[in-house]
Amino acid sequence: MFSVSVLTSGCSKSSDSTATTGTAKGKKVTIALMPKSKGNAYFISCKNGADKAAKELGVDLVFDGPTDPDPAKQNEIIENWITLGVDGIAAACENKEGISTALRKAKQKGIKVVTYDADSLADARDFFVNQATPEGIGFTLMDEAARLSNSEGEFAIITASLTAANMIEWQKYIEQRRVEKYPNMKMVALRPCDDLKDKAQSEATSLMSANPNLKLIMAICSPAVPGAAEAVKQAGKVGQVKVIGLGLPSENRRYVKEGVTDSVILWKTEDLGNLTIRATKALVDGDLKPGATSFNAGDLGAIEIKGDNILLGKPFIFNKENIDQFNF
Amino acid sequence: MKYFREISVALALLALLVALAIVAPAFFQPQPLLSLATREAPTLIVACGMALVIICRQIDISVASQFAICSVCAGLLAAMKLPLVVVLPASICIGAILGSINGALIAGLGLPSIVVTLATMVTWREALRWQRQGEFVNLPDNVQWFGLSQFAGQWTVIAVAVVLLILLAIAMKRIAAGRFVYAVGSDAEAARLAGIPPQRVTFLTFAFMGALVGLAAMMNVVQSPQVDPKSGTGIELKTIAAVVVGGVAISGGRGNLWGAFAGLLLLACVSPALTHLHVDSYWEKAIQGMIILLAVVADGIRSKRGNA
């Protein structure tokens, strides 16, 4: 499974001056942003969105994190930020429990704390910027499958394991959507690939020969998307059996461009960074308070808040037309 | 009967294939079968090595981590545009080095192989995870299928594995080194008294195992345009199971490569067969487990009778 993150709109539309909120509240706000690891293209893309938002809002953005995912190093950096006296901290947490003590300490010192991509314990932060809800992922996958197969015919799902909680949750929403909107589509098989690309390829090969009318393979763990695509390509069934899935653009670019994989679903990482900074800034300014149900996020529009989760919104679909704009 | 075990595994496989021919004839389409054979060829190479290790009365559970390291290194070398004639020996050498580390600790220091290879398994795997962060290695275009057509590439991979199996099976019977492995596996002390150096045989068996893993990793790398750093995960279980199902005694000294081959064929067919029979995938691992259990029970019954 790939690391959790939020959907964002990669190329933020120019919102000009309309969304600029008050820097009139005195000193310049400093927000510290922490990735799970610094060199990761996924988080670099998040940072690009964060930079844009920070520039627009007049925020001083501090970006630091471990070179490699390291919970202890994350704590160390947060301790430093507490000493520095930043106004807000936004962190993607490598270890839920591990980071919570440091974040709680920051909160006690009056620093506003937001998590994004991967959450801490709920009491250690004010809000979690949630990149994708299971409902959003499940519905988007099913809608995309239906669109590509004219809402009829057989499809199969390749998952990581039959026990992965997040995937069972996604399957629930996939099935709910199918029953409600696409009754002529039939799920003929569900196969686990143990989160391995090679095994996904073998599974997809047998799925195609065992189900000659199969029209689409939906791969819901990231290594399974290129695995299924390679199987379809080797079987000479490109176009006849379509491939969609949840994954990273970089792992699927080749197959998307060759027309083997039609759609890769994820969220826009730039929007995730953008929303995270906007939410943290609004918290610092007092414009966003616990209990709020929505939040005006400038160029991202009105954002829904469910409990203490700020929802990025519907996932983003990468396809032949747009995949080259994304490098993570 | 001397080959009772090998024959019973072959019969079980035959029964499965006949059942499939009746219930799900679609299983026998040429393309998916060729694809299945190609996918399993690297596993066969590792299974050959595992059979040797187990015949030598040892075990190597670190093969999956070795496989992943060789795959990623081969991938990175290929991505540096080095030709395959360089990458392939490099992968084999890296495997041999990793195998030699196991061998040196086990044969040199006399440590138990299950503990040593458990430690190296975790060490290599975590080092690789730390290094790659799960990121795929993208290969240049001419690496997949050795730059040949898909059809030719698939047959090359299968041919490498099968030729290796035949050569090793003959070598184990006819060449002194092969007999030495049996001798050390059945009774190391007796072997030593007969002038066979058990430590050297054990060390070389592990080094050879590593080299085979390097070869297998390469045969897997050429099958796709990207290398998954988790390549080979679970291959230790699959190959140990194949070897045990195929009648190689886990207590060493007994069994042969043809049995391991039959065992692997049987286990490799289970997963696609279940897909074709539209059996819920929840059953897959349970059925594989049952096959292994049956094999071990059969072994137990036979050795009891033998002793009586």
Complex-level ipTM: 0.91
Asked whether residue A20 carries a pLDDT value surpassing 70, the answer given is no
Report whether A298 contacts A56 (CB < 8 A). yes
- Give the β-pairing of A309-311 and A316-318: unpaired
Q: Which two tokens stand for residue A287?
A: 């414009």
Query: Least CA distance to B228: which residue of chain A?
Result: A197
Interface check B39 vs A, CB under 8 A: yes
Interface check A192 vs B, CB under 8 A: yes
**Alpha-carbon dihedral of residues A258, A260, A262, A268, nearest 10 degrees?**
-60
Q: Count the residues in chain B.
A: 308
Q: Can you give the pTM of this predicted structure?
A: 0.86
Query: Least CA distance to B134: which residue of chain A?
Result: A2
| Reduced DSSP (H G I as helix, E B as strand, rest coil) percent helix, strand, coil of chain A, to 5 | 40, 20, 35
Report whether B41 contacts B261 (CB < 8 A). no
Residue A258 is which amino acid? E
Rounded Cα distance between A268 and A132, Å, is: 10
Rounded Cα distance between A148 and A217, Å, is: 11
Interface check A210 vs B, CB under 8 A: yes
Rounded Cα distance between A10 and B200, Å, is: 60
Confidence band for A7, pLDDT divided at 50, 70 and 90: very low
- Please report the pLDDT score of residue A26 as a whole number: 59
pLDDT in tens, A205-256: 999 999 999 999 999 999 999 999 999 999 999 999 999 999 989 899 999 9
Which of A84, A113, A83 is closest to A99 using CA atoms? Answer: A113
Strands (E), A150-285: 153-159, 185-192, 214-219, 242-246, 261-266
Q: Which residues of A touch B31 (CB under 8 A)?
A: 209, 235-236
Written as tens digits, the pLDDT of chain B (308 aa) is 677 888 888 999 999 999 999 999 999 999 999 999 999 999 999 999 999 999 999 999 999 999 999 999 999 999 999 999 999 999 999 999 999 999 999 999 999 999 999 999 999 998 998 888 778 999 999 999 999 999 999 999 999 999 999 999 999 999 999 999 999 999 999 999 999 999 999 999 999 999 999 999 999 999 999 999 999 999 999 999 999 999 998 889 999 999 999 999 999 999 899 999 988 888 888 888 898 898 888 878 877 776 54
Which residues pair with residue A295 across a beta bridge?
Answer: A303
Residue appearing with tokens 């949840």: A246
Exposure string of B26-56, with b = 16+ CB inside 10 Å and e = fewer, is: ebeeebbebbbbbbbbbbbbbbbbbbbbbbb
Report whether A9 contacts A272 (CB < 8 A). no
Q: Which two tokens stand for residue A11?
A: 């190329």
Residue scoring higher pLDDT (A44 or B124): B124
Percent of chain A having pLDDT more than 90? 76
- Please report the pLDDT score of residue B1 as a whole number: 62
Which of B165, B146, B148 is closest to B43 using CA atoms? Answer: B165
- Please report the pLDDT score of residue A14 as a whole number: 38
List all residues 6 or more positions away from A8 whose beta carbon is below 8 Å from its beta carbon: A46, A49, A131, A267, A268, A269, A270, A271, A272, A273, A274, A275, A300, A312, A316
Rounded Cα distance between A163 and A299, Å, is: 39
Which fold, B4-19+43-307?
Answer: ABC transporter involved in vitamin B12 uptake, BtuC (1.10.3470)
Which residues pair with residue A22 across a beta bridge?
Answer: none
**Yes or no, beta carbons of A196 and B233 under 8 Å apart:** yes
- Please report the pLDDT score of residue A325 as a whole number: 87
Q: Which two tokens stand for residue A194?
A: 């143990």
Q: Which two tokens stand for residue A55?
A: 């520039």
Interface check A213 vs B, CB under 8 A: no
Select the residue of A203, A206, A251 nearest B136 (Cβ to Cβ): A251
- Please report the pLDDT score of residue A40 as a whole number: 78
pLDDT in tens, A109-128: 999 999 999 999 999 999 99
pLDDT in tens, A138-197: 999 999 999 999 999 999 999 998 888 888 999 999 999 999 999 999 999 999 998 899
Asked whether residue A12 carries a pLDDT value surpassing 80, the answer given is no
**Extents of the domains making up chain B:** 4-19+43-307
Indicate the burial class of A180 (C-beta count within 10 angstroms; 0-12, 13-18, 19 or more): exposed
- Please report the pLDDT score of residue B298 as a whole number: 80
Helices (H), B56-112: 63-79, 84-103, 109
Minimal Cα–Cα distance from B28 to chain A, Å? 9
- Please report the pLDDT score of residue A9 as a whole number: 36
Query: Least CA distance to A157: which residue of chain B?
Result: B281
- Please report the pLDDT score of residue B182 as a whole number: 97
All domains of chain A, ordered by start, with CATH? 30-131+268-312 (3.40.50.2300), 134-266 (3.40.50.2300)
Interface check B231 vs A, CB under 8 A: yes
